[in-house]
Structure 1
Amino acid sequence: MRTEELMLKTKCSPKIAVIGCGYVGLPLFIEFSKVLDDVVGFDVDQGRITALRGGVDCNGEFGDKILLNLTGRLESDASELMDRDVYIITVPTPVNENNKPDLSCLLSATRLVGEVMKTGTCVVYESTVYPGCIREVCLPLLEQVSGLKVGSDFLLGFSPERINPGDKQHTISTIVKVVSGIDEKSLVNISNLYKLIVRDVCLSSSIEVAEAAKLLENIQRDVNIALMNEIWSCLTRLDISTDEVLRVASTKWNFIKFHPGLVGGHCIAVDPYYLIEKAQEKGIVLPLVKQARVTNESIIFSLYRRILQILQFPYEGKRVLIKGLSFKPNVTDLRNSKVPALKILLEEVGVLVDVYDPLVSREQAKEAFNIDLSRIEEVSSVDYNLVVSPYDLSITTNP
C-alpha cells in the first residue's frame, strides 16, 4: 500500500494497534473500538491484559460493563501486531532517579513497531517527550529496524496525550486533539484518523511545536502551583488563611485561581524535566522552570514543619491522619505520590500516622509503599490530633 492510499483507507476502517494500555492507551483503544472493526490494544504486562479481559481496570477508570463489551482485542503477544495499518504508541516516559528523561519504554516500543510495520504504515506517538525527540531519536530507530523510509514508505506523526485521570468531563471524545506530522501527507492522514473519535482537531505546523506545546501545558501548571505553594508557606507563617486570601483575590476579573498542594503524578511532576534536559543540551537556562520544580518538590518539608509546629513538642505518641494516598483526589494513581514521604518524616520523630484513601486498594498501597490502609475502615477525625489533606495542604486540629 502506498502512503497516498492510506488517506482513503483511514476514512474507511484501518486496522489499528494501540501500544500500551495504561491511563493513556486504554481510553484510546476503547474509543477506536467503538468506531472501527479491527483494533488491538497491546501491553507487555500480561497481568494487565488478563485483568482487563476479565473486566478489571486496576486504575479505576473503566468498569466491567465497558471492558467486557469491547469489540477490540486486548493482547500481550507481539505476533498480534502484524498486519496493522496504524500504530499508536502510548507508553510511559518517566524520569530516572536523577530526574533525567527515561526513554527506555519508548525505545522498546519503537523497536517493536519497527519489527512489524510494513510499507504504507502510519506510526503516531502520544507519549510526552522533549522537542526534537520524535524526529531525532524515534524516527532514525524506526527506519533502522524496519528498513523503510519515512515519507515514501510510511507516515509519522505526534499527537500529545491529554488524559486527565479521574476527569469524566474532559475525555478523549470531548477535548481538542493536537495533531502533527512529519510531512503534509502524514498530517492529513493522522488528522482524519483522530476525527473518527474526537470533536475537534488542532493542526500543528510541526512535530516540534506539538512536543513543546505538551510540555508547556504542564509546565504552566507547575509554575503556578509553585507560586501558590510559596504564598501558602508565607501566609501560614503570618497566620493568614490562604483559602480566604484566594477567595478575596479571585473577585478580580482577571485573577487566575490556582491552589497550593503536593505535586505528584506522571505529568506535572515529570514533564518539566524533559524541557530542562533539552534546554541544557543547547546551553539554555530555564531558571523559573527549575525553581518551580525545586519549590514543589520541597513543599512537603514546609508542610511537615507546619504539622510539627501545630502538634508541638514532644511529638511521640501524637496521632495524625492523612486523608489521601493517590497523587490527587478521586483517582487511584499512586505515581509520584508525596504522601509516603510525608508519612516517613512524621514517623521518624515519633508521630503515629494513618493514611486513609477509600479509592486505593489495600494491595496497591502495600505493594507500592508498604502502607497498611486496612488499619482504618472508617475515619473518625476525633481519634487524631491532626487531620491533613495533602491535596490542598489543609490541616484540621482537634483539642
Structure 2
Amino acid sequence: MIEVLRQTLSNDDLDWLTATGQQRDVPAGSVLIEKQQPLHPLYIVHSGCLQAMGPRDAGSPLGRAIAAIEEPSSEDIIGTYGSGELVGMAPLLGMGASMMVVKAVEPATVLEVPYPQVQEKLQQDLAFATRFYRLCIRLLQERAQQLVQRLIQRKRLQIYPLAEVLLLLGELAEGDIDWLSTHGIPEEVPAGTVLIQAGKPVTAVYLLLQGGISWGVSDSSRRNLTQILATLEADTPSAPPALREIAKLSAAEFFGESALMEKSLALATATALEDSLVLTLPSPQLRSHLEQDLGFAARLYRVIALLQAARSEERLHYLGFGKGAYRLTLATTETKPDNHSLGHSERLAVARSRLHSLLSHLQVQTG
C-alpha cells in the first residue's frame, strides 16, 4: 500500500504529515485504538503489522451462529494493515466511535498525526482534502474486497439497504446539487437492467434517485483483478455466473465510484431491483469539474469515502460484529460552510431538501 500512498498524496502532503506527526515505535501487543473511542490520532503504518479486532455480538442470533461454526482466533480478525496503510480514518470522515480494537501484532513503527491538526488541514486546504479523501476511497475499496469474500461464504444471508444513507446527500453544498442536476443525465432504468457489469470498465458515476439497486458478485469464484483480466482476455464467452447479493442501494446513494479511480474495472455487478431513476454522471465531465472545483471535489470524495466506510461497517455487522442492525451515524461536531454543527434530525431535513431539489429540477428538465 505504500505505492498507493505515494501515488495519491503529493510530496507536500507527505512533508506536512511528517512534520505534524510524531514517529512512534509500537511494541507487539500494544493497543493503538480502543473500541468505542470517539476521537483518536490518524496512524500511518511505516513498518510492522497492525490488526483490527472486533468481538462478536454474542447476544445476537447471527453472532452465536457464526461463533458456533468458526474459529474465534481467526475470524475475530477484521483486517491486517501493513506499510503505507492509514488506520483511524473514521473520525476524519465524521463517523461515530470505532467498533474495533486496533493493536500491533508485531513490533511496528507508525506516524501518529493528531486528529485536531488533520481535521483543521482538511477544512483549510481543499487540495489536500481532495487527495486525502481519494486515498481513503482507494484503501477502503481494497479492504471491502476482503470483507466481500468473507460475506459471500454466508449462506441465506438477507441483505438490507443501508439505513439513513440519505444523510450523505446533506453533506454536499447547494451549489454541488445545482451542478449535479444541470450536468447529470437522468435515466429511467427498468427492473432487471444491468448498469455496471463486473469485469468491465466503469464509465460513469451514478446517483440513485428513486427505486433500488442490487450489487452482486460471483459465488463460484474469487473476482480479484487478475481473474477479471483473464475473463476479459478469454477467447470464448462463458455463461454469466450466479450472483450473490452483497449490498442493496436506496435513494441518495452514489455508486460506480471506480470510474474516478485509477483501476476502473468493476468488481461487482449493479442491477436494478425495480423500475428506478438514476442520475448518470459521465466520467470525463465529472473528472473535469472535480479538477476545476476543489471544494466540490473535496465534498464529493468525502461523501464517497463515507459511503465506502459505512458499507464496510454494515458488512461487519452481517459477519456478526457489533450489536443490532447497522445505522449510518455522523458525528455532530463536523462543521460545513452551509451546514454548521447540525444535529441528526436537522441533517436529515437538509438531505431531504437536497433530494427534493434534484427531483424537482429533473422533472422540469425531462417533463
TM-score class normalised by the smaller sequence? under 0.3
Richer in strand (by share): 2
Provide the TM-score with structure 2 as the length reference.
Answer: 0.24
Greater C-alpha radius of gyration: 1
